[in-house]
């Protein structure tokens, strides 16, 4: 080794000075060009967002736990509002702040507008008929147009107000009979039946659930089981190579339940067709009539809606219109029972605005400012954990990071609604924070997003707004609510159960005492 160093020294000494200078300059220039090239490459494709290091094969699956919304929210302090994780082989971006959500919806909505479907949903090709799950394209635009101009138009919603009033009156009677003066009632079944009937009348001009309707009860039970199955963690979602094996048998279970529930919906449709043939259906046209009469252009939209696709549409509207609304009202009642003074305030407002001589109507809603604030605060604190997952349409630069095509996108609405940088005392139920505030949930304020925002915002917001306030307001106007013996406001079980919505893990029970 020493000999080699000596030979190199002699060679350098014998080399003319100008050659040394030349080669030194050459090496320096080459190094500079290499650095510039590296900088160009890295600046041409920004780095991925930060996130926890994943395990081989499984990625960050263990970081989710049983409360994925809360665990991912906990990572925001370390990694920021954008978090990159890998769920098995699926690249996933988690958006966890109002600022990041606003940037996405305002500046990148079209690049993030597709849906990421799990393997269970992909297993039935007619799932593409479900508007909220369909990919962004001609079919989605056609159905959104029909929803806007027909199903959820201001004229139709206003015209169906008497149907909703009748369904709410029936709910009050059911609860009165069930309570029998002193017995407690579990609220969820009554709320679910009422909301199913509210949507059922809008779609099919008929009640779907009552004590004498075993088919309607079966429909409700099947839809609840179906929602739970599609939200259940499935190995095939994280490792697509396993999709043919169905390792947990989820696809098989979903297929059986889905086929049965579509049989029930098909029965409703066939009854309507028979009524039309025998000229027994003389009511104003509803959604089913519109779909049966639909004629598309045959180019970028179907000439007719197939029967199975029609059944899927009805199923979507029934389940989506019921689950989130029932969950919100149950949480609102739980929070009001935990805070008797807040309950007194909202009841006093209803008495002041509506009085004792008539029932609360949809026309009263905008004058019930405290009731409006109660619903908003319930949405903020108990919102849907994640908006329906999106998929990135093309490679996109977002907030200085590179987001590859087909990345799954979670918008953690739960984390956004509880962000201490946005909300004072974020874990406390305080409707007063919304009094005198212009913050709303119609997609323009990104501090809370119960209905989403952008192109894929829920098309039924106006209807949901009316149902939420009239149902909750009627419960408060019609009854004095007290807790069961042995339960105090401090001991109400407020644990959550994660699914497509964030339900109360233990259904709410209370004693209604009639006041009207």
Burial class of 48 by CB neighbour count within 10 A (0 to 12, 13 to 18, 19+)? middle
Check the CA dihedral 335-338-340-341 and report its sign: negative
Pairing of strands 90-95, 408-411: parallel
- CA–CA–CA angle 449, 453, 458 (5° rounding): 90
List Cβ neighbours of 184 (8 Å cut-off, separation of 6 or more): 484, 509, 510, 511
Contact call for residues 447 and 415 (beta carbons, < 8 A): no
Determine the Cα–Cα distance for residues 414 and 387; give it in Å rounded to an integer: 9
> Residue 167, exposed/middle/buried by CB under 10 A (0-12, 13-18, 19+)?
buried
Any binding-site annotation on 113? no
| 402: β partners | 397
Distance, CA of 510 to CA of 229 (rounded, Å): 29
Helix (H, G, I), strand (E, B) or coil at 60: coil
Residue ranges in 444-486 assigned as alpha helix (H)? 461-478
Q: How far apart are CA 9 and CA 271, in angstroms?
A: 100
Q: How far apart are CA 118 and CA 242, in angstroms?
A: 13
Q: How far apart are CA 112 and CA 131, in angstroms?
A: 16
Tokens at 62, concatenated: 């263990």
Confirm if 94 and 85 have CB atoms less than 8 A apart: yes
| The token pair that represents 291 in the structure block | 């779909």
Do 437 and 430 touch, CB atoms closer than 8 A?
no
Note whether 61 and 88 are within 8 A (CB): yes
Which residues are annotated binding-site positions? 458
Which residues are annotated binding-site positions for heme? 458
């Amino acid at each position: 080794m020493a000999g080699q160093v000596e030979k190199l020294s002699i060679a350098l000494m014998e080399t003319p000075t100008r050659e040394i200078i030349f080669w030194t300059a050459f090496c320096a220039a080459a190094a500079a060009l290499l650095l510039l090239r590296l900088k160009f490459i890295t600046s041409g494709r920004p780095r991925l967002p930060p996130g926890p290091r994943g395990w081989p094969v499984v990625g960050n699956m263990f970081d989710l736990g049983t409360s994925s919304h809360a665990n991912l929210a906990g990572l925001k302090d370390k990694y920021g509002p954008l978090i990159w994780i890998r769920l098995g082989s699926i690249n996933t971006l988690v958006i966890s702040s109002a600022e990041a959500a606003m940037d996405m919806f305002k500046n990148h909505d079209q690049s993030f507008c597709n849906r990421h479907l799990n393997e269970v949903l992909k297993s039935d090709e007619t799932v593409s008929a479900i508007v909220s799950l369909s990919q962004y394209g001609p079919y989605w635009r056609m159905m959104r147009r029909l929803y806007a101009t027909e199903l959820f138009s201001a004229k139709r919603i206003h015209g169906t107000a008497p149907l909703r009033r009748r369904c709410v009156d029936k709910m009050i009677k059911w609860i009165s009979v069930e309570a029998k003066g002193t017995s407690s009632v579990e609220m969820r079944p009554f709320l679910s039946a009422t909301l199913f009937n509210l949507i059922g009348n809008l779609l099919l001009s008929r009640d779907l659930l009552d004590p004498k309707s075993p088919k309607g009860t079966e429909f409700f039970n099947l839809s609840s089981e179906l929602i739970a199955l599609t939200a259940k963690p499935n190995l095939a979602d994280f490792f697509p190579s396993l999709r043919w094996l169905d390792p947990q048998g989820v696809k098989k279970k979903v297929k059986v339940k889905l086929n049965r529930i579509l049989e029930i919906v098909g029965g409703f449709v066939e009854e309507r067709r028979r009524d039309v043939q025998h000229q027994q259906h003389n009511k104003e046209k509803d959604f089913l009539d519109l779909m049966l009469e639909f004629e598309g252009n045959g180019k970028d939209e179907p000439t007719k809606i197939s029967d199975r696709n029609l059944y899927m549409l009805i199923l979507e509207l029934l389940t989506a219109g019921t689950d989130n609304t029932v969950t919100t009202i149950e949480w609102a009642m739980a929070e009001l029972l935990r805070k008797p003074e807040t309950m007194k305030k909202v009841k006093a407002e209803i008495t002041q605005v509506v009085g004792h001589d008539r029932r609360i109507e949809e026309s009263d809603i905008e004058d019930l400012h405290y009731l409006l604030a109660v619903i908003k605060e319930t949405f903020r604190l108990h919102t849907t954990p994640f908006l329906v997952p999106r998929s990135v349409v093309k490679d996109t630069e977002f907030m200085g990071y590179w987001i590859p095509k087909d990345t799954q996108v979670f918008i953690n609405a739960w984390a956004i609604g509880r962000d201490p940088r946005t909300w004072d005392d974020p874990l406390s139920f305080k409707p007063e924070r919304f009094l005198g505030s212009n913050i709303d949930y119609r997609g323009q304020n990104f501090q809370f997003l119960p209905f989403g925002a952008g192109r894929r915002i829920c098309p039924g917001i106006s209807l949901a707004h009316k149902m939420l306030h009239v149902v909750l307001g009627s419960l408060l106007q019609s009854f004095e609510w007290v807790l069961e013996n042995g339960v105090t406001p401090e001991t109400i079980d407020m644990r959550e159960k994660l699914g497509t919505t964030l339900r109360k893990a233990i259904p709410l029970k209370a004693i209604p005492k009639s006041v009207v």
